[in-house]
Amino acid sequence: MSTQRDQLDQLENEAIHIFREVVGELERPVVLFSGGKDSVVLLHLAAKAFWPGRIPFPVMHVDTGHNFPEVLEFRDRTVARLGLRLVVASVQDYIDDGRLAERADGTRNPLQTVPLLDGIVENRFDAVFGGARRDEEKARAKERVVSLRDEFGAWDPRNQRPELWNLYNPRHRPGEHVRVFPLSNWTELDIWRYIERENIELPSLYYAHEREVFQRSGMLLAVGPHSQPGEKDVIERRVVRYRTVGDMSCTGAVASQAASVAAVIAEVASTTITERGATRADDRISEAAMEDRKKEGYF
Amino acid sequence: MSQIPLPTRTIAGPTGLLRLATAGSVDDGKSTLVGRLLHDSKNVLADQWDAVERVSRERGFTGADLALLTDGLRAEREQGITIDVAYRYFSTGTRNFVLADCPGHVQYTRNTVTGASTSDVIIVLIDVRTGVVEQTRRHLAVAALLRVPHVIVVVNKIDLVNHDRGRFAEVDAQVRQFCDGLGIHQVHTLPVSALNGDNVVEKSDNTSWYEGPSLLELLGTLEPAITDADAPFRFSVQYVLRPQSAAIDQAHVEYRGLAGRVESGTVRPGDEVVVLPSGRRTRIAGIDTATAELESAGAGQSVALRLADDLDVARGDVVAGAEEPPEAVREVDAMVCWLAEVPLRSRQRVLFKHGSRTVPAIVTDLHGRLELSTLEPETADAFDLNDIGRISIRLSQPVPVEDYGKSRSGGSFILIDPQSGGTLAAGMAKLEKNGSGVAVPKLTIEWEI
């Protein structure tokens, strides 16, 4: 057990160091906050980094409009508890006024890029903290901790800055910004062990609960306003939980009895499928789905 | 495991996080080795493996192409090469590993330096058929220059020479001779077939003449970079915490603390310290984290220090133990790895980042470039991408730079392009006059001009 504790301490120290370094060098940071477990841990670490002051920057939520209601409620409560300013970049607004068109499959995760980039420009944010982890996905495995984005928000994986020792370099030209990933070296299991150790509250849907679901492409989708079953789909009541939260129309639940953090840790430790493979329809589109979205400026 | 000739400090074997970097030339089979390590140590999940098998079939491979596990970018898979450093996480139950997979073409030194700078172990791959080549020399020189604590040379594709003991011995001798010249006196060499899995996770019957451990067994015995609790105390100030009206509660409105990280050594309340570059002395009044007040803090810990006196301290300052404080200097001699497309020339203006301080600087002299085939210096008017050489730098303000041989954190710096903000070079300071008789392991590449 001491090994795990040492490792969590190591990861926590590293993340706090990254937060302080970037906030020390840049003018207008922001942290992306969706209410998902990684962004909750990220915010917890930011609060530790600047204790006993409040977190010295706002949070931004790129809102697909396809939210789980309990996650939105959790978002607002967390932001209020920490005394932070919330900036919402709304995909729905873009669809309503015609700047974005709804996709044929109805999912909205890929539509988040434009509101995100516009939100960064409008607020003149120069550092955007995100909760992405390198263990999530192959394109993310290539990401630096501090990663330069040009004025189009684009990531150029072939021309990344070398990142040496712990000497992070967030400098950039006007119009450019950096994405910063303090959780780069955390795994899904580290996140859960840290949530347990720090007693961090999460939206309730991360734990086993009963819900009306239907099967689609091998995933269990919740019945809700943004994810309607087709005529042939069979609706069943199952005990499920979510491994990731996002657009309700393409984020699947997994059958699980894990109702506590300890039970989730046991489940994650013995799982045979990655969290994105299990629950994200949008990452299954092609081998390079994430890379393509990242190059366009997605988180 | 008992036959492994390694200085292990604990009977049970080391635990905790070990950071690895891999380096090899194109076609040495590095991605295959990493894929094999992940697969055979059961760190590949079912959906990842399904994807590899599916794509391998589509490409017409007879078996699963293990390189697909790590080559994540579209261009990498299309061209069958690795483009950028990829980070992998795997676990053996007793130990967790972070692996920086550093590709071996075009920007090879840049990638290897990036991976090696934070690593405890570097794994250099060699094709047994070609033996030591220029890239191998370059990778080993980087390992020596950055003082990576453990060097492993994997002699790969042993299956293609029929697992021949004699050929392995020849390559092993080449490696040891070159490493001796670099001052790397402990190097582990292993005969491996990444393709077939020989000596990666399990010892192989095909190389029954080989008495050492498998790669994974070996990794299980290595100690992380030593963080010496008795080293002199150093702390980089990153941010001054003065919450005032933004305090989380009324009790902390007047709080004033220095947020930063202990770079080396240990600090306790009551310790006498000196703040650099001002040179003011004071005592540590308290050490805080968000959850507790600490009785001591050691290397790597992110904390907030309260000082006994209300000194003017800002981001970029260094708090050091009063007994052996570093000297703030304006002139720095250093080895650099040049990492930019635009060449370095004498009189070039740069930014110099050391710890949390960034100051304007001028590169005053290029003393010479390291010729890797001979390990001799040669004169150069400019350093090009991937060159390793020695320079002098003048700083606009004094900075407490230390010798890299004494302290990785105190001696490392980066050079930054003042216009674009891009990172130009990795630097390792070399301070003779401040050495005060401490023996630095001899490195041929630290030549004298």
For the stretch B303-335, pLDDT in tens is 999 999 999 999 999 999 999 899 999 999 999
CATH of the domain at A93: 3.40.50.620
Same domain, A109 and A7: yes
Its domain, for residue A44, covers 2-191+288-296
B339 vs A48, A162, A278: nearest CB: A162
Same domain, A30 and A124: yes
Q: Is residue A197 part of a domain?
A: no
Q: What angle do CA B432, B436, B438 make, to 5 degrees?
A: 90
Same domain, A178 and A210: no
User: Over the stretch A203-259, which tens digit does the pLDDT of each residue have?
Assistant: 999 999 999 998 887 788 888 877 778 888 888 999 999 988 877 877 888 889 999
A162 vs B45, B114, B409: nearest CB: B114
CA-based nearest residue in chain B for residue A50: B241
For the record, the structure tokens of B146 come out as: 């950055």
CATH architecture of B16-221: 3-Layer(aba) Sandwich (3.40)
pLDDT range class, residue B371, cuts 50, 70, 90: confident
Distance CA B191, CA B179 (A): 18
Is pTM beyond 0.90 here? no
Same domain, A39 and A146: yes
pLDDT at A183 over 60: yes
Q: Is residue A212 part of a domain?
A: yes
Q: Is residue A198 part of a domain?
A: no
So what's the pLDDT on residue B236? 96
pLDDT at A48 over 70: yes
Same domain, A80 and A212: no
| Chain A contact for B79 (CB, 8 A cutoff) | no
From A127's Cα to the closest Cα of chain B, the distance in A is: 14
B72 vs A138, A158, A277: nearest CB: A138
A55 contact residues in B (CB cutoff 8 A): none
Distance CA A248, CA B156 (A): 48
| Chain A contact for B292 (CB, 8 A cutoff) | no
Mutation for testing the B interface, residue in A3, A126, A142, A173 having most B CBs under 10 Å: A142
Q: Is residue A6 part of a domain?
A: yes
So what's the pLDDT on residue B79? 56
Distance CA B113, CA B106 (A): 13
Same domain, A132 and A219: no
Distance CA B245, CA A213 (A): 48
Same domain, A187 and A85: yes
pLDDT at B46 over 50: yes
Across chain A, mean pLDDT equals 86
Same domain, A16 and A141: yes
Residue B339 half-sphere exposure toward CB, CA atoms < 13 A: 27
Count of domains forming chain A: 2
A287 contact residues in B (CB cutoff 8 A): 51, 55, 74, 77
Mutation for testing the B interface, residue in A85, A134, A138, A164 having most B CBs under 10 Å: A164
A171 contact residues in B (CB cutoff 8 A): 351, 416, 421
Same domain, A259 and A127: no
From A212's Cα to the closest Cα of chain B, the distance in A is: 26
- The CATH number of domain B329-429, selected from 1.10.10.10, 2.40.40.20, 3.50.50.60, 2.40.30.10: 2.40.30.10
With contact defined as beta carbons under 8 Å apart, do B3 and B82 qualify? no
Q: Is residue A143 part of a domain?
A: yes
Domain map of chain B by residue range? 16-221, 234-321, 329-429
Identical fold for domains B16-221 and B234-321, yes or no, is: no
So what's the pLDDT on residue B50? 76
Q: Is residue A260 part of a domain?
A: yes
pLDDT at B108 over 50: yes
User: What mean pLDDT do residues A157-168 have?
Assistant: 86
Q: ipTM of this model? A: 0.88
Same domain, A94 and A114: yes
Same domain, A173 and A207: no
Same domain, A183 and A214: no
CATH of domain B234-321: 2.40.30.10
Q: Is residue A144 part of a domain?
A: yes
Q: Is residue A196 part of a domain?
A: no
- Verify whether the Cβ–Cβ distance B302 to A141 is below 8 Å: no
Q: How many Å separate Cα A272 from the centre of its chain?
A: 22
pLDDT at A265 over 50: yes
